[in-house]
Chains A and B, each alone.
Chain A
Amino acid sequence: MQQVFTRPESLKDVQTHFCPGCQHGTVHRLVAEALDQFGVQQKTIGVASVGCSVFLYGYFDIDVVEAPHGRAPAVATGVKRARPDSFVFTYQGDGDLAAIGTAEIIHAANRGEDITVIFVNNTTYGMTGGQMAPTTLVGQKTSTSPYGRNKAKDGAPIKMAEVLAQLGGVAYSARVAVNSPKNVLQAKKVIKRAFQFQAEGKGFSFVEVLSSCPTNWGMAPLAANERIGEEMIPYFPLGVFKDDPIAQD
């Protein structure tokens, strides 16, 4: 028998600090697999954000620059402009990208920076203990929305994949989930497609991944996975919102 599933080379063989069932681990693996597949590990510069994924450099065997909270797309812009031959991705949470870093993501996308953004939407601020995020669902209770998110006061959860698809500089924008084997396999395809754009120098690519935070949702990992299917996907539909290799022209 042959080994048909192995740890990707770009992912270090170490224990992660993620909570049991936390899908940051799954997303890390999918990104590492894509790096392996494109053969770009040796020329990749990852840009870490602030959130539970802050230890990107501890898990990926690649060069990493750590960005301040929300600023990863600006840092990645500087990196890519200074080293246009490198392969550059950011990895950001929903608080990081869709709240404090909104200006940076919108404008990096709109400039059509030749980078890939991996956006992990777990509808909460994981690292700081489960506060309300811009993606928190209406009615969802968090430590700062104890009565549930109130649309009238807090606004509706922001759909970043759709928002970014509107921008001229964006070549690719999609949303996936990793709550079932089928969705994981689809997510893998989509992440590779996103990287393909960068590999060919065809502009900004964006993948939103619906992900669980069992700890702050106060749910067991299996129940958290079910929530993704039952509550998140109906509001945040999976799909490709833009796939336009000529967006740059």
Chain B
Amino acid sequence: MGRIEIDEIRCKGCGICTVACPKQLIKLCDKANIQGYTPAEAVNQELCTGCALCAEICPDVAIKVFR
């Protein structure tokens, strides 16, 4: 059981986390943040294992992981 929080302001919408998640629980949303990037958002959180691979690869340290 896990959960992630994505810092919507820090996220630069690079999308790297979306392919890093083994369960594909992250996607980019369509609405831009104040930096002008479309940030990532977590979906189907109940499937999250808290493995933190998404956070490990995020260049902007925008993901917090709970387990």
Contact = CB atoms under 8 A, between A and B. Distances in A.
Interface residues of B, number: 30
B61 A4 contact: no
A25 B59 contact: yes
Given A20-B14, A21-B12, A225-B16, A1 B67 contact: yes
Contacts of B65: 3-5
Interface string A9-32: 001000110111111111001000
B26 to A, nearest CB: 13
Interface in A209-249: 214, 220-222, 225
Interface stretch (A92-100, A140-148, A178-186): A178-186
Contacts of A222: 14-16, 19
B64 A185 contact: no
Contacts of A11: 61
A7 interface: yes
B25 interface: no
A128 interface: no
B42 interface: no
Contacts of B55: 5
Say whether chain B's binding surface is mostly helix, strand, loop, or mixed: loop
Contacts of B37: 20
A1 B56 contact: no
A181 B15 contact: no
Given A20-B37, A225-B16, A4 B57 contact: no
B27 interface: no
B59 A24 contact: yes
Contacts of A23: 59
A178 B16 CA distance: 11
Interface string B1-39: 111000001101111100110000000000000010100
Contacts of A214: 14
Given A6-B64, A29-B61, A178-B57, A1 B1 contact: yes
Interface of A: 1-7, 11, 15-16, 18-26, 29, 178, 180-181, 184-185, 188, 214, 220-222, 225
